[in-house]
Amino acid sequence: MILTVEQLSKISNQIRINLIEMTYNTGLQGAHIAGALSMVEIMTVLYFNILNFNPKNPTDETRDRFILSKGHGVMAQYAVFEQMGLITKEELLTYKKNNSFLSAHPSMNKNLGIEFSSGSLGQGLSLGVGTALALKQKKNFSSKVYVLLGDGECNEGSIWESAMSASNFELDNLIVIIDKNSLQYDGKTEDIMKLEPFKEKWESFGFKTISVNGHDIEELKHVFNIRHNKKPLCIVANTIKGKGISFMENEPKWHNGALSKELHDKALVELGV
């Protein structure tokens, strides 16, 4: 599926609207809303322009595999599924409710294209490396593996063990995307565990590494198609946590939060509703 920048922008805005509705609908539980908002354009471009993924045949062996390592952001993936027609709006609003199949973190569901359960940070890239290796061993040279990480997640040592393995095995079918919004649960990433020089770190581990504006749809469309023969690709997507909602942007307290009726209405006005 190939859509224009204008079409992708409209989908991104609708996804943000749905994220606000999902969060409000959880009541006092709240949701990991800010980190979901930062990854909206990444997810939109991936699912509507890049991934070889047919929602009518989600278990097709020739499909690309997507692994959401920053599992707490899964509500953005659910909102994408609703836009693709994989789930209904009514199902979307059951997010985090009792007996819902839309849990707070991803649970493996091949019918939705959720390849693995995740949520314990630092595991997704290991799963991606294993999947990419398996595809090569099966002589499947067309499918690719996409792994979305958080920048705070890169504090985990298992990320760097996986990165070392990926370049060692020349996994050019592996694409790592990092939602670099510079915040994590405890505050600013640079205050907690310095990541910089971040791009150079990934390059030193053998990745072809490119830094982009993670909210620029045109840039994202381009970078996913860059050639990286015999090397895995790392896309450092610079984003804003809480993107699109003024009172959430760059505010650590919205890592997980609940919305009052007043803030719900304010957010929707800002999104043009």
Q: Per the structure, how many domains does the chain have?
A: 1
Global confidence as pTM: 0.97
pLDDT of residue 227: 87
pLDDT of residue 125: 98
Q: Where does residue 146 rank: exposed (0-12), middle (13-18), buried (19+ CB within 10 A)? A: buried
CA atoms of 186 and 242, how far apart (whole Å): 15
pLDDT of residue 1: 65
CATH code for the domain in which residue 215 is found: 3.40.50.970
Mean pLDDT by groups of 10 residues along the chain of 273 residues: 92 98 97 98 98 95 97 98 97 96 96 94 97 98 98 97 98 98 94 96 98 98 92 98 98 96 98 96
pLDDT of residue 94: 97
The residues with which 148 forms a beta bridge, in sequence order, are: 68, 177
pLDDT of residue 229: 87
Matching residue, tokens 């760097």: 160
Determine what percent of the chain falls in helix, strand and coil, rounding each to the nearest 5: 45, 15, 40
pLDDT of residue 91: 98
Domain span including residue 110: 5-253+261-270
Which one, of 26, 8, 31, lies nearest residue 80 by Cα?
8
